[in-house]
Structure 1
Amino acid sequence: MATSRMKSINMNMKYLLSIGLLAAMFIQGPSLRADEGMWLVNMLNRITMAEMSEMGLNLTAEEIYDINNASLKDAIVRLNGGSCTGEVISSQGLVLTNHHCAYDAIQGFSSTANDYLTDGFFALEKGQEKHIEDFYISFLVRIDDVSDRILADVTADMDETTRQATIAEASKAFLALMNPEGTKELDLKSFYYENEFYLFEYQSFKDIRLVAAPPESVGKYGGDTDNWMWPRHTGDFSMLRIYADENNEPADYSETNVPYQPKRHLRISMDGVSEGDFTMVMGYPGSTDRFLSSWGVEQALSLYNPSVVEVRDMKLTTMKKHMDADPAVRIQYAAKYAQTANYWKYYIGQSKGLKRLNIQSEKAELEARFTDWVNGDANRLSEYGEALELIEGYYADTDASVKGKVYALEAGLIGSDISLFAFRFNRMAAGLFSEDAEEVAATQAMLTDYVAGFYRE
C-alpha cells in the first residue's frame, strides 16, 4: 500500500509544490519490516489485515475502528486539536499522556511557593484534581472519504491558483451542507498534497483536570540533550481526567460534573513484553515531509533548518539568562522555553539525519527513475514531462526568500509574546464590525477573556 501510494503521488507531481501531509489517527507496523507504514484507521480493510494477524495482531479491523460500536478508537484521544495523543486507561475517564503535553498546565499551576514543575503534582483524591483552563480532549466519532465531493470540479488542465480556489469553494459549501446548524465538530483535512480529502467528526470535552505529573527530574530527564534521541530513558508521562455532566455529555467546568465514563478504555497488562511481540502504535501524529523532493531537501539543509536553529538559539539564550536570574521568571517562561527548544533540537537532529543517511542523493535517484518512467511512454511524457522541472523551478525561485520568511516568523510574529498576541487579537476582532449585535457581544466577550488570559500572572 505504501509503495502504491508513493507511485500515485509521483504521478501527480504537478500538484506537489506545497509540502506537508496532514495526518490523523494511524496504525504503524514494526519499523524494521519492508511493509511498515501509516494508515488512517478507516482504511484498515484496504490493507492486509490477515498479514497483520500473522504478525501477531489479535484484533479485527472492526475492533480497532467501528462507528456503530465501541472500538479501540474510543480509547485514543486527541489533545487540544491535535497537539498530543492520550489514552483513556480507566472507566473513570483517566487519561495517560506525555509529560510535555501537560507541561503548560503544570506551569500554570506553579508558583515559587508551589513549584509543581520541580516537585511534581499528585492528586490523592478527585477533589484535589486541578481544572485546566482552555484545555480540551476530543474523541473521534467517524472518518469519511469525501475526495470525490471536494475534487468533483477539479480538472487536470487547471493551473494551481484555479485549483486551490475551486477546492476552497467546494470545501466551504460541503461543510455548510454537512453542518447547517453548526452543532457538529467537523474537520476537513487534505492528504497527499490535496489529492485526497477526509472529513473527521469529533466530540470534545472541556472540563479536563490535572491528576498527576512527575517532577521535571523524572518527566524531563535528559532535557534537550536527550530530546528526539533514541534510546531515551525518561519518565515522560502525566495524567488527566475527563469530566462530563450527569448525562455523560460534554459540559463547561462545574463542581457538579462527574468523571466521564468512556465507551472503551485500555487495560494495562502487567505481563511485560517478549522479543518479537507485535507492535502497533495508534495516535494523532502531526505532519511528514517524507515526499519532499531532492531540491526540497537541499533547501531544508542549506537554508530553512539552519535559519530556524539560529533564531531559536538566540531566543533560548535570552530566555535562559533571565530564567536563571529569577525563580518566578523561570516558572513563567518554562513552557515557552520548552516549546522553543523542542524544534530547535528537532531541526538540528533532522539535518544530521538527512546528511548521515544521504537522503538528498536517494531523492535524486528516485527522481531519475521517475524521469526514465515518464520518458518511456508518450502519454506519460505529455502529462508529467515538466513535473520535475516545475518543482526544481519553485525551489530556485524561493531560495532567496527562505531566510527572510524564517526571520519574520521566528523573530517577528512568534519572537515575542506581544506581537503574537496582537496578531491573534486582530484576527479574532473581525466580529466587532458585524451588523449582528449578538455577534458583536460574543466577540467582545471572547476578546475580554483572551486579554485577561494573556495578562494573567
Structure 2
Amino acid sequence: MKRIFLLLTFMLSFVQLRADEGMWLMTMIKRLNGVDLKKQGLKLTPEEIYSVNNSSLKDAIVQFGGGCTAEMVSKEGLLFTNHHCGYGQIAALSTPEKDHLTNGFWAMKKSEELPAKGLSVRFLVRMDDVTKRINDKLNNNMSADQRKEIIDAEYKAIQTENSENGKYSVVVRDFFNGNEFYYFVYQDFKDVRLVGTPPNALGKFGGDTDNWEWPRHTADFSVFRVYADANGNPAEYSPNNVPMKPKHALPISLKGYKPGDFAMIVGFPGRTNRYLTSFGIEQMVNKDYPAWVEASKLAMDVMKKYMDADQATKLN
C-alpha cells in the first residue's frame, strides 16, 4: 500500500507540468479556442500574436541566418539568438590573434560592432492559405508528374504575384503531407553585425547533447544588430547604414515567473516528424540514424585531427 501511495504521489507531482500537444502556424491561432488558452494563462489576443495591419508578435520573431530563430529586443535593431546559432559567424569573425569564439566579444559602442559577412535576418511580412487555389487545379486522375508540374507552376505564379518586383522573398510550402498549402512573404535584411558573445566555454557548454534539455547550465546566447538604409529598407553593408527599427520588439520583464505561468514557444523550426508513422520511426531509428551517426563520426574525426593542430583551421 505504501508503494502505491508513493507511486501516486510521484505521478501527481507532474500534473501541473503537463504540456498540451500542438504545433501551429501563426495564422492558425484563430482556429484555437481562445477561451481555453486564456484559462491557461495566455494574456495575448490572436491579433497581438499575428496581424498583417498592426504590429504584433510576428514582427519581433525573426529567422536568423536561414536556419535559426532570433528575437528583436529593442527599437534599435538589437536581437538575441542562441550562441550555437551565431557560432559560425563568431568563428568567421575570429582570428588566432583576436579569437572571439574562445575569449568572447562585446562592442561597447555601435562603431565597434563587427559586420557579419553573408549573414541575413528574415522578417515575416504575412502568410496566407492557398490550399483551395492549388487543389482546385488538381484531380485524382493526374499522374504524379502532372500533379507536380501544376503545383510548381502555381508556386511560381504565387511568388511573382507577391514579391512586388523583388522587394520581398516569397516561399510556398505544403503542410500535413501535401494536404494544405501556404505562402510566406518575407523581407530580408543583409547588414547584420555582431554585438556580443560570451566565451565559447560558456556559450557552447554541454554542446548539442544538452540542446533543448532542462535544466541547462549554459550561456547559450549571442547578440547581433540589424542595420538598414536611411529609409529603413534592407541594404548591403555600408558604414552609412543605421540601426533597423522593427515594427515590434519584445519588452523585457524583470518580474520573473512563478509555477503555473503560461508558456509557449514561437520560432522557425526546421522540420517536424510529429506525424511520422510507426513504420517511419522504425526506419529512422534502426536504419537511417545509425548510418548517419557513423558517417558523421568518420568525418568529424578527420576534421578534429586538423583543427586540433591549427587554431586558424579550427576557426575556419
TM-score (norm 1): 0.63
- Please state how far the C-alpha of 1:178 moved relative to its aligned partner: 3.8
Match runs of 1:27-176 below 5 Å:
32-33=18-19, 35-81=20-66, 83-176=67-160
- 2:198 corresponds, among 200, 203, 214, to 214
Q: Alignment partner of 1:39: what SS?
A: coil
CA 183–259 in structure 1, closer or farther in 2 if over 3 Å, else same = closer
Query: Match of 1:416?
Result: none
Whole-Å Cα distance in 1 between the matches of residues 314 and 117 of structure 2? 21
List alignment gaps of at least 5 residues for structure 1.
1-29, 333-457
Shift of 1:225: 4.5
1:302 corresponding residue in structure 2: 286
Distance in 2 between the 1:226 and 1:170 partners?
A: 42
CA shift, 1:31, in A, is 7.5
Q: How many residues align?
A: 301
**Alignment partners' CA distance in 2, 1:44 and 1:229:** 27
Cα distance in 2 for residues equivalent to 1:286 and 1:184: 21
After TM superposition, the structure 1 stretch with the greater mean CA deviation from structure 2, 171-180 or 187-196, is: 171-180
Where does structure 1 differ by over 6 angstroms across 4 or more consecutive aligned residues? Answer: none
Partner amino acid for 2:57? L
Q: What is the RMSD computed on CA atoms of the aligned residues?
A: 1.7
Cα displacement string for residues 200-225 of structure 1 (whole angstroms, at most 9, x for unaligned residues): 11111111100001001110112355
The one-letter amino acid paired with 1:213 is T
Determine the C-alpha separation between the residues in 2 that align with 1:120 and 1:98: 14
**2:210 counterpart residue number:** 226
Match of residue 223 from structure 2: 239
Query: 1:253 aligned to 2:257?
Result: no
Q: Contact 2:130–2:181 (CA<8 Å) still a contact in 1?
A: yes
1:279 corresponds in structure 2 to: 263
Q: Cα 1:142–1:55, aligned 2, differ >3 Å: closer, same or farther?
A: same
Question: Structure 2: how far apart are the matches of 1:222 and 1:178?
Answer: 43
Identical aligned residues as a percent: 46
* 1:278 shift after superposition: 0.4
| SS of aligned partner of 1:287 | coil
Name the CA shift for 1:293/1:99 in 2 (closer, same or farther; >3 Å).
Answer: same
Task: Give the letter for the 1:138 counterpart.
Answer: R
Q: How big is the shift at 1:176?
A: 3.1
Counterpart mapping for 1:169-184 below 5 A: 169-179=153-163, 181-184=165-168
Tell me the CA shift for residue 327 of structure 1: 2.0
Higher relative contact order (CA 8 A, sep 6+): 2
- Following superposition, the deviation at residue 230 of structure 1 comes to 3.7
1:15-38 deviation per Cα after TM superposition (whole angstroms, max 9, x unaligned): xxxxxxxxxxxxxxx9824x4311
For residue 283 of structure 1, give the secondary structure of its aligned residue in structure 2: coil
Code of the aligned partner of 1:69 = N
In the alignment, the residues of structure 1 paired with residue 194 and residue 251 of structure 2 have an alpha-carbon distance, to the nearest angstrom, of 21
Measured at CA, do residues 175 and 246 of structure 1 come closer, stay the same or move farther in structure 2, by a change above 3 Å?
A: closer
Aligned partner of 1:65: which letter? Y
Quote the Cα distance in structure 2 between the aligned partners of 1:244 and 1:31.
42
Return the alpha-carbon distance in structure 2 between the equivalents of residues 131 and 311 of structure 1.
Answer: 35
Q: What TM-score do the two structures reach when normalised by structure 2?
A: 0.90
Candidates 265, 269, 278, aligned match of 2:249: 265
Structure 2 unmatched runs, 5+: 1-15
Distance 1:301 1:209, change over 3 A: same
Question: Residues 263 and 31 from structure 1, CA distance in 2 versus in 1: closer, same or farther, beyond 3 angstroms?
Answer: farther
C-alpha offsets along residues 375-425 of structure 1, whole Å, 9 cap, x if unaligned?
A: xxxxxxxxxxxxxxxxxxxxxxxxxxxxxxxxxxxxxxxxxxxxxxxxxxx
Do the aligned residues in 2 keep the contact of 1:150 with 1:174 (CA within 8 Å)? Answer: no
